[in-house]
């Protein structure tokens, strides 16, 4: 038994041209105009051949290759309406905007935490700016979560009082953390 795709006859060039002319050489789905960059028009079956559609002018519409490819072998009666497509795109856009805002907020919060660690170290050493070792802010943040910010600040202050250079302070602070864990 032959399937609908193998029964399909190609649309004649004259029929295709007549469909394009009737539709103003413009995609009936998105409005893309023939001659615009990247626009290739095709004759699309309104009721797909798979659903019993034929090659009559009444069943053909001008479509750009992009819209026709997206529609596939579905008939327009089974395809989502333009209102449904627009609503879906608006929901997706809204979701993406919410995700972007959440990412921005997360980045801003991480920057605030990093600045808080720098400020803590500056306060402990009584200076306006300080060198930070790679990942020092992350290590100090984890220690703050484990032992509390007051404890970590006091450890930075202890490093300063013992004349530990600011660039090596995190090593001293980590040593106190290890000792504190052992004692617990």
pLDDT by residue (tens digit) across 92-120? Answer: 899 999 999 999 999 999 999 999 999 99
Domain assignments of the chain as residue spans, ordered by start? 4-79, 105-183
Contact residues for 45 (Cβ-Cβ < 8 A; gap 6+):
53, 55, 59, 60, 75
pLDDT on residue 24: 87
pLDDT on residue 116: 95
pLDDT on residue 4: 47
pLDDT on residue 67: 83
HSE-up (13 A, CA, CB side) for residue 85 = 11
pLDDT on residue 114: 93
Q: Does domain 4-79 sit in CATH 1.10.3470?
A: no
Residue ranges of the chain whose pLDDT lies below 50: 1-2, 4-5
Question: What distances in angstroms separate CA 102 from CA 90, 98, 131, 149, one per listed residue?
Answer: 18, 6, 30, 26
pLDDT on residue 42: 92
pLDDT on residue 151: 97
pLDDT on residue 33: 86
């Amino acid at each position: 038994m032959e399937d609908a795709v193998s029964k399909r006859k190609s649309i004649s060039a004259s029929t295709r041209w007549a469909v394009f002319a009737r539709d103003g050489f413009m995609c009936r789905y998105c409005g893309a105009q023939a001659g615009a960059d990247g626009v290739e028009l095709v004759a699309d079956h309104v009721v797909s051949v798979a659903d019993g559609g034929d090659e009559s002018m009444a069943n053909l519409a001008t479509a750009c290759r992009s819209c026709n490819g997206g529609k596939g072998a579905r008939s327009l009666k089974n395809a989502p309406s333009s209102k449904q497509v627009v609503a879906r795109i608006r929901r997706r856009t809204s979701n993406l905007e919410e995700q972007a805002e959440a990412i921005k907020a997360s980045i801003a919060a991480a920057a605030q935490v990093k600045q808080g660690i720098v400020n803590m170290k500056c306060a402990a050493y009584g200076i306006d700016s300080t060198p930070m070792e790679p990942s020092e802010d992350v290590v100090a943040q984890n220690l703050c979560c484990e032992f509390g910010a007051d404890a970590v600040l006091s450890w930075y202050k202890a490093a300063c009082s013992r004349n530990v250079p600011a660039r090596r302070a995190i090593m001293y602070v980590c040593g106190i953390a290890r000792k504190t864990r052992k004692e617990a």
